[in-house]
Amino acid sequence: MSLITRRLCAAFTGAMLAISPLAITTDAALAQEQHGPRSVADLAESLLNSVVNVSTTERIVAERSTPIPDGDGEEGDGDAEEPYRDFFEDFFGEDGPPQRRAQSMGSGFVISADGFVVTNNHVIKDAEAVVVNFADGTVLDATIVGRDPKTDIALLKVEPETPLKPLDFADTERLRVGDWVMAIGNPFGLGGTVTIGIVSARNRNLRSGPYDNFIQTDAAINQGNSGGPLFNMDGDVVGINTAIISRSGGSVGIGFAIPAEIATAVIDQLRQYGETRRGWLGVRLQKVTPELATSLGLEKPHGAFVAGVTAEGPAETAGLRTGDVVLRYDGHEIQEMRQLPLLVAQTEIGRAVDLGVQRDGEEITVSVEIGLLAEDEARAAAAAAAAEPEPQAEEAPTTEDPVVADPDTTPKVTLLGMGLSAITDELRSTYKIDADVKGVLVVDIEEGSLAAEKRITAGDVIIEVGQKPVSSPQDVAEQIEALKEKNRNTALLTLSSANGALRFTALRIEQ
């Protein structure tokens, strides 16, 4: 006991007679709340029977790397006697490559009395057979109802003889950093293991998928905990333990769980359809950086910048435009770009949703009917989640003798570290620019300039400056001057690659 703690205890002892029983109870409860629960034994005991071990078996076929040896230890016709031949033939088989069965173990938990069990997709994805082991020793075969690789969630079904005790999910919108949490699982095959910790952080993005939004905890999570529940102190599930960061393979106090609000939406769809059916907006999004926010007239970086709109998609049909900034979705404030895909994905197909949008400095409302996310759009969403906020310019097609314009002989105007030129027929041919791409061509970039840092390259085409169309270097200069007159210190450039792919970059401008 520290010196400070002893003095506090002495102070409480000396003043005991002057404090009412109610005050003592209140202070004790407050101290317990601040320093954590004295024990979680009763809570853990009430939950253990609802947490299961999930074991799987898969068949692995390996190529035979060596022939079955004959009697003289060399590759032969097999006629010589060999005391170990029966062993080798039993192991490898006389025909075909060797086979073996690999077993893996994870965790899961019961969500219905009739036998639905939740676990991680990576626990069962290659399984030939799945078995669920309960704390009371009951062992039941399980079938895979459905799985969702993008969130790493799988739903199993067992057929119990008596009703099971299901767990409830918590409202994780109320979960706070610093709240106490408890994990129960099957680390290293040691079933029924209970660990405790706190919520270390929320909304973690590990770039493992398009819908990353993990709870981080320091409750010990190890191999085999995957798919097990993370509880609050009310015994409700706040997350599904999924991943750890560790060089050793064991817990170092950095574990991650899928939050309940994502898990419940996925589980409901797996239970109803056997697959996930996600909402689709039909936009390509870009992070709102501080420079981009300034160029758009936003007070702070927030929202999701619309960098592209899918033709005939829900967004285009509703009137959403490239260059819009989505600030709200169905009443939810969009603080970060990645919030929007999460919210859209969880929206019921066909439902009309109001979007709060900033356009040309004014806020408007756009009503969108959410569509169904197809597999090709899902792949695009996954790629976008792993992309940089401002993607690199596409490299021009190369040949053995690439042809580029000579910046010293091409007529140009230099602005913001870029040599700019009107797009002549010759330059369009030189840079292989599609006929429908209109704007001002970048023919040269000053080394060390801000334009170079933003990865603008010769061959890029400036379509807009400050969301105003440009068709000549003079238009670019005039738009920059107009922004300066408005005391803007950044200019938003809409850039096109030679084949028409758009991106947006904010460049600082000097007054």
Contact 275, 327 (CB under 8 A): no
Instruction: Please tell me which residue in 55, 104, 107, 226 is annotated as part of the active site.
Output: 226
Which residues belong to the annotated binding site for substrate?
A: 122, 152, 224-226
Q: What tokens appear for 315 in the block?
A: 């967004």
Contact 154, 144 (CB under 8 A): yes
Distance CA 161, CA 131 (A): 16
Instruction: Select from 248, 276, 304 the last residue of a domain.
Output: 276
Contact 286, 253 (CB under 8 A): no
Instruction: Please tell me which residue in 70, 112, 122, 236 is annotated as part of the active site.
Output: 122
List the domain range (segments joined by +) for residue 348: 280-385
Distance CA 340, CA 305 (A): 10
pLDDT of residue 75: 41
The verdict on 236 and 201 lying in the same domain is yes
Contact 224, 105 (CB under 8 A): yes
Distance CA 133, CA 83 (A): 42
Number of compact structural domains in the chain:
3
Residue 78 domain-assigned (yes or no): no
Which residues belong to the annotated binding site?
A: 122, 152, 224-226
Residue 72 known to be catalytic: no
Tokens 């066909």 found at: 350
Contact 337, 385 (CB under 8 A): no
Q: Which of 323, 258, 335 is nearest to 292 (CA)?
A: 323
Per-residue pLDDT of the chain (511 residues; tens, 9 = 90+): 433 333 333 333 343 334 344 444 445 554 555 567 889 999 999 999 999 999 998 765 555 554 444 444 444 444 444 443 343 344 444 555 555 555 778 999 999 999 999 999 999 998 889 999 999 999 999 999 999 999 999 999 999 999 999 999 999 889 999 999 999 999 888 888 999 999 999 988 887 777 888 999 999 998 889 999 999 999 999 999 998 887 777 788 899 999 999 999 999 999 999 999 999 999 999 999 998 898 888 989 999 999 989 999 999 999 999 999 999 999 999 999 989 999 999 899 999 999 999 998 899 999 999 999 886 555 555 555 444 444 333 233 333 333 455 555 566 789 999 999 999 999 999 999 999 999 999 999 999 998 999 999 999 999 999 889 999 999 999 999 999 888 888 899 999 999 988 899 999 887 5
The verdict on 173 and 44 lying in the same domain is yes
The verdict on 352 and 289 lying in the same domain is yes
Residue 332 known to be catalytic: no
Instruction: Please tell me which residue in 152, 212, 218, 475 is annotated as part of the active site.
Output: 152
Q: What tokens appear for 43 in the block?
A: 């809570």
What are residue 204's DSSP bridge partners?
214
Tokens 């009412």 found at: 20
The CATH number of the domain holding residue 472 is 2.30.42.10
Q: Which residues contact 327 (CB under 8 A, 6 or more apart)?
A: 302, 303, 333, 334, 356, 357, 358, 363
The verdict on 249 and 368 lying in the same domain is no
Backbone φ/ψ region at 113: left (φ over 0), alpha (ψ -120 to 50), beta:
alpha
Instruction: Select from 385, 403, 424 the last residue of a domain.
Output: 385
The answer to pTM > 0.75 is: no
Residue 70 known to be catalytic: no
Handedness of CA 336, 341, 345, 350 (dihedral sign): positive
Q: Regarding beta strands 461-465 and 214-217, do their DSSP bridges make them parallel or antiparallel, or are they unpaired? A: unpaired
pLDDT of residue 9: 35
The CATH number of the domain holding residue 271 is 2.40.10.120
Instruction: Select from 276, 294, 322 the last residue of a domain.
Output: 276
